[in-house]
Structure 1
């Protein structure tokens, strides 16, 4: 049986980058993928458009990951967004930031990325085997020696675990790497589905599905968690809410839902306007047309469908002039426009989760090499670790950068 310098488990962004990096240093590399094709989850990234990274400086980028973000420092020093764009240009993929922030391949197709990385691996002599599920790691007390799949045994003194999390199991993410990590002494934190739509107790949202509301601010309405906040575009659904702000905020909500049956949230639907600013806006609008009814006044800020529902919640007659509403109804409307309450009470689990929150403990991984502190020769990269970021190219950049560092095979 041939012995390899490196075996990479998983063919996502992190795994392919690790394989390419090692092969460029003349390492004999085997890449194993349990599905019949490589890059399945990468292909679905960003609705297939593949938001590779973003143009933020490294310090700001890391801050968006929270308190553990600085763990990424060595990886980003080795491969930041500029270096990543240069890498793809080198293998034939041009990328750009059409909005000055999010970086995409100019084709806006994830297939372009996968095809280019696959071609580079072939050029470098990386052996790729699909339909190979790794079931165990071979090791002595101190060092990795290889892996076993359901049908074969492969030997190597270095193994990269790039199996991803548990989100979108139909694309191969079933948490296989967690069991492998635990088998060599690693702690795996509790994992939660993240970056996904949320369900709400309130049914009125089903009447507002036609419009996207821009720049919504969302907070948790629980004393202990009031600092949790997200901002972005919101879309109402038949059973709840989705859109970029929800995808980001779900990272905070799903762990709370494991503790509480319901999580009350507040949404500012008026681009950050407070009660005083809303009153001032209405005063100016009524000065233009004093006979405008309440619904027409609200639609200067929000879509008609949402305006009607807020009138109902406030006990206001949408057809009546704003000044003719009773004082309580007017106050209720102003308060609702500043902060609209909703109650999140569920989600669809890992089957709809774009990423996983939680994973292999960062304390047990050397950030300078991505090597295990528990077992020599074992490396981790990408989503299998306990580090996740918001929408906007964060998680892919982290996958590529950590894969690059792991592929260096530094002792």
Structure 2
């Protein structure tokens, strides 16, 4: 065995989780090799948050875990070791200032992911982390229940500890192609069903393309399937040429994409009137009907003009009709549409535009106190490769940092 190919730890993947793991292990005196299959490290991190890099948020650990749903408690030990306060302190240590301009989302003060990446590079250089790019790992090496190293397309490297931080399948152009799932499966790990998440959604209805100019604030989305009626989300929505996007859609996509696989299409109901119910809408229209010369102008006291036109069309109402003169059925239909507008989700662009992956390596096979495999000693996982995903707002990046920090301690 060549001495120059022997390490204490090999980390596969140079995203947020892999880089933090490399730094933590190296600070503890480990000889660390970081492998990346692309020609540069941190490609996906560079694109995070549109390049602004929303690192984390200010929620308490309890509230943070709750946003991940039923699997959220798995993060308890990792967050105890490395929550948002410890993360921002870490960045301060390596010369990167952060702030929360809206009191919730935390960014580098530069609002540039390049600042984070350069800080990481400098710290890894200082610590002596060996970085090798253009190295696609093809196999994990093990003897019995213990890890021995890895094989790439051209090399073999040895270590008693390996951390798999290869991410999910979202944005394959940035290197996320699901490599880690295959590596883990070959050693007996179960990978749950994988679905693209955090991305725009396509609709059956074509009228949405006429409403692209405006962002609709405080929209509530609700799945209109009896078995899944509790699935809902609130936030800003944007109509597109083929469907919907915006923060609320990116969040809700993680719930919708698995249902698309099951049902083929997913009916939604949208409250576009900032939570007003039918009675409140009726009162609002009655109050403003005298000042509006027609129904279109009246609806514009609630919604943008383009969307108001489309809702009039859906209700079978001429825009220039006077609201007072509408028959009762038309009024009721219009108010019903204003309270809950139906849309049918029919598809998406797959993993090509998905920011994260829903599903991953089964959490039952990973020790939450260490991130070590329960099947293979010396094998660790961190970040998006595991079956744990959260909404927009720094959740997934914080989880990557926290799990990478814990894995890097090689407990």
TM-score, normalization by structure 2 = 0.98
CA deviations on 1:163-192 (whole Å, 9 max, x unpaired) are 000000000000000011111110000100
Q: Which secondary structure does the structure 2 equivalent of 1:217 belong to?
A: strand
Give the aligned partner of residue 183 of structure 1.
186
Give the aligned partner of residue 18 of structure 1.
21
CA contact (8 A) 2:289 2:324 kept: no
CA contact (8 A) 2:366 2:374 kept: yes
2:380 is the alignment partner of 1:379: yes
Give the aligned partner of residue 91 of structure 2.
88
Deviation at 1:292, TM superposition (A): 2.7
Output the aligned Cα RMSD.
Answer: 0.7
CA deviations on 1:99-157 (whole Å, 9 max, x unpaired) are 00000000100111111011101100000000000000111011000000000000000
CA contact (8 A) 2:361 2:387 kept: yes
CA deviations on 1:73-98 (whole Å, 9 max, x unpaired) are 00000000011001001101100000
Give the aligned partner of residue 341 of structure 1.
342
CA contact (8 A) 1:317 1:325 kept: no
CA contact (8 A) 1:256 1:263 kept: yes
The whole-number CA distance in structure 2 between the counterparts of 1:58 and 1:44 is: 26
Deviation at 1:286, TM superposition (A): 2.6
Give the aligned partner of residue 175 of structure 2.
172
The whole-number CA distance in structure 2 between the counterparts of 1:261 and 1:45 is: 30
Select 1:28's aligned residue among 16, 31, 34. 31
Select 2:165's aligned residue among 146, 149, 162. 162
Give the aligned partner of residue 370 of structure 2.
369
Q: Which secondary structure does the structure 2 equivalent of 1:4 belong to?
A: coil
The whole-number CA distance in structure 1 between the counterparts of 2:95 and 2:51 is: 19
Counterparts of 1:312-351 in structure 2 under 5 Å?
Answer: 312-351=313-352
CA deviations on 1:13-65 (whole Å, 9 max, x unpaired) are 00000000000001100000000000000000010000000000000000000
CA contact (8 A) 1:166 1:173 kept: yes
Select 1:118's aligned residue among 117, 121, 133. 121
Q: Which secondary structure does the structure 2 equivalent of 1:67 belong to?
A: helix
The whole-number CA distance in structure 2 between the counterparts of 1:16 and 1:300 is: 50
Aligned length in residues:
408
Give the aligned partner of residue 144 of structure 2.
141
Give the aligned partner of residue 79 of structure 2.
76
TM-score, normalization by structure 1 = 0.98
Give the aligned partner of residue 254 of structure 1.
257
2:217 is the alignment partner of 1:214: yes
4+ residue runs of structure 1 moved beyond 2 angstroms? none
Q: Which secondary structure does the structure 1 equivalent of 2:262 belong to?
A: coil
Deviation at 1:357, TM superposition (A): 0.3
The whole-number CA distance in structure 2 between the counterparts of 1:381 and 1:141 is: 22
Give the aligned partner of residue 270 of structure 2.
267
Structure 2 unaligned regions, length at least 5: none
CA contact (8 A) 2:202 2:346 kept: yes
The whole-number CA distance in structure 2 between the counterparts of 1:124 and 1:332 is: 67
Deviation at 1:293, TM superposition (A): 1.1
Deviation at 1:245, TM superposition (A): 0.6
Counterparts of 1:223-302 in structure 2 under 5 Å?
Answer: 223-286=226-289, 289=291, 292-302=293-303
Give the aligned partner of residue 6 of structure 1.
9
CA contact (8 A) 2:165 2:381 kept: yes
Structure 1 unaligned regions, length at least 5: none
CA contact (8 A) 2:269 2:343 kept: yes
The whole-number CA distance in structure 2 between the counterparts of 1:4 and 1:83 is: 28
Select 2:54's aligned residue among 51, 55, 59. 51
Q: Which secondary structure does the structure 2 equivalent of 1:85 belong to?
A: helix
The whole-number CA distance in structure 1 between the counterparts of 2:211 and 2:289 is: 25
The whole-number CA distance in structure 2 between the counterparts of 1:113 and 1:284 is: 53
CA contact (8 A) 1:371 1:378 kept: yes
The whole-number CA distance in structure 1 between the counterparts of 2:280 and 2:27 is: 59
Q: Which secondary structure does the structure 1 equivalent of 2:69 belong to?
A: coil
Deviation at 1:221, TM superposition (A): 0.3
The whole-number CA distance in structure 1 between the counterparts of 2:247 and 2:304 is: 18
The whole-number CA distance in structure 2 between the counterparts of 1:174 and 1:328 is: 53
The whole-number CA distance in structure 2 between the counterparts of 1:116 and 1:238 is: 39
CA contact (8 A) 2:146 2:377 kept: yes
Counterparts of 1:194-209 in structure 2 under 5 Å?
Answer: 194-209=197-212
CA contact (8 A) 1:316 1:330 kept: no
